[in-house]
Amino acid sequence: MAEATGDCEKAPFWGKKFLIFVTGASVGIGRAIAVSFAKHVAPGSLIVITGRNTAGLEETKRLIGDHGPDVNVVVETCDHSRASFRDYQELLRRASAQVESPERVVLVHNAGTTGDTSRYAATYDDERVIDDYNHLNLTSVMTLTTAFLQHYGSDSKPSRTIVNITSRAGIAAIPGLVLYCVGKAARDMYMKVVALENPSVSTLNYAPGPVDTAMFAQLKRGTKELEAMHDSTIKEGRLLTPEKTVGRLIGILEDQKFMSGDHIDYYDPQ
């Protein structure tokens, strides 16, 4: 697997002028990524936050302003379950026109859903349900990445980093999460292929661990296996805050010790 881009190793990752895209930034981990990243970039950087909930995105923007007043924020209301490749091309054009000569461009794929946590694999007999899930959780990731790589080509000056928020479910089967497991596994492999095909791009599959979000709470209403997993996570004190897991992600990016395409879990040895 390719190394995590040579230019990232020559200088600190943070503290530069960034253009950052974060999908699913209206709440939870996505919001924490946008707010926390803003504390580590140079003045004049631009953070583009996307998602379906405009009010949630505006709150994220307000929080960024509280912590990083010299960072510009653009809210892009976008339904990634319906967005097209052309939509993403236009989003990138609009954003790039608002920041001059960024030193680093970062794309964070955070948007995603678990699917119906009360169902087992053998119950999925409606192609539309499967197709709709895959459009949001896989197809949109691929088309947005394509637009990103085409807009910032191999000869572009800013260094390019793509972060895929993944899960242990991408490498370990979990009853009741068949769509989620398949989607995360596919996204992980997609990022590995992107890394091999684009040696100058750094990709990272980051599994944030169990995090106190609405998505985690949904497990309580799922299959008996998911309910047990939900309860044991809380009982054993393993549930993380969004800010804590994003802090680990920030450190991983700063250290640049991973190989491009790697899958790193919050609980992996540091």
Domain borders along the chain are: 6-209+243-258
Is 155 a residue whose pLDDT tops 80? no
Report residue 30's pLDDT band, with 50, 70 and 90 as the boundaries: very high
For residue 204 the two structure tokens come to: 């990272």
Query: Mean pLDDT over all residues of the chain?
Result: 95
**What integer pLDDT is reported at residue 68 of this predicted model?**
67
pLDDT of 66-115, one tens digit each? Answer: 976 799 999 999 999 999 999 999 999 999 999 999 999 999 999 999 99
- Correct CATH for 6-209+243-258 of 1.10.3720.10, 3.80.10.10, 3.40.50.10210, 3.40.50.720: 3.40.50.720
Measured in residues, the chain has a length of 270
CB 70 within 8 A of CB 44: yes
Q: Give the C-alpha separation, 126 to 124, whole Å.
A: 6
Which stretch of 8-12, 135-139, 168-172, 210-214 has the lowest confidence by average pLDDT? 8-12
Report residue 270's pLDDT band, with 50, 70 and 90 as the boundaries: confident
Q: Is the pTM of this model over 0.85?
A: yes
**What integer pLDDT is reported at residue 4 of this predicted model?**
54
Q: 169 or 155: which carries more pLDDT confidence?
A: 169
Which stretch of 67-81, 108-122, 193-207, 255-269 has the lowest confidence by average pLDDT? 67-81
